[in-house]
Amino acid sequence: ERRSLPIREDSSGEVIVKGLRDAPIKSALEAMEVLDAGTTNRTTAATLMNCTSSRSHAVFTVNLRQTTRTLGGGGAGEDG
């Protein structure tokens, strides 16, 4: 079921999107699948100027985490 996600600003001025989903991925293919799913979930409707105009917005944010591996392996590494 698709629903609108309310956008609010908290008392410190930070923008909050209630109901936003975080999707951890491990490959470029997984990223494209998440992006495709988000695009499919957007609402489109006709306007006077365009018969398939988008009536919604999408935000696709990528957060990268770099890890350092030691020679010989075995450790999980360090974030950094």
3-59 per-position pLDDT tens digit? 677 889 999 999 888 888 888 999 999 999 998 888 877 766 666 666 666 667 777
State the pairing for strand pair 67-68/78-79.
Answer: antiparallel
What are the residues whose beta carbons fall under 8 Å from the beta carbon of 80, sequence distance 6 or more?
Answer: 66, 67, 68
Give the predicted TM-score (pTM) of the model. Answer: 0.55
Residue 61 has what pLDDT? 85
What's the maximum distance between 2 C-alpha atoms anywhere in the chain? 64
Beta strand residue intervals within 1-80, DSSP E: 7-9, 15-17, 44-45, 53-54, 67-68, 78-79
